[in-house]
Amino acid sequence: MISASSGTRNTKSDEEMQKRQRVETTTRFQKHLERVRDIVNTAFADYLKYEMMITKSTKSLIWS
């Protein structure tokens, strides 16, 4: 394969290293994405708990 930037041929080991780096980058991205999902899910769950608590408090004030 010829590199677009330098015009030189990539060796098999260069291609293997680039593939390994892409796989590592993908794996790191997936781990970070899972952490973000966990954070967002926790935030929504906490928000819903808070909203339910407020709603219950408001209803008890209205009906008392």
Q: Evaluate if residue 2 carries a pLDDT over 90.
A: no
What pLDDT score was predicted for residue 61? 65
55 in a structural domain: yes
Print the domain residue range for 44.
11-64
- Total domains, the chain: 1
* Cα 1 versus chain centre, distance: 33
Contact 10, 3 (CB under 8 A): yes
- The number of CA neighbours under 13 Å toward the Cβ of 18 is 8
Q: Would you say residue 2 lies in a domain?
A: no
Does residue 4 lie in a domain region?
A: no
- Note the pLDDT tens digit of each residue in 21-61: 999 999 999 999 999 999 999 999 999 999 988 888 776 76
CA distance 10 to 21: 15
Collapsing DSSP to helix, strand or coil, 12 comes out as helix
Structure tokens at 45: 């769950």
Within a domain: 6: no
- Answer whether 1's CB lies under 8 Å from 10's CB: yes
> What pLDDT score does 32 carry?
98
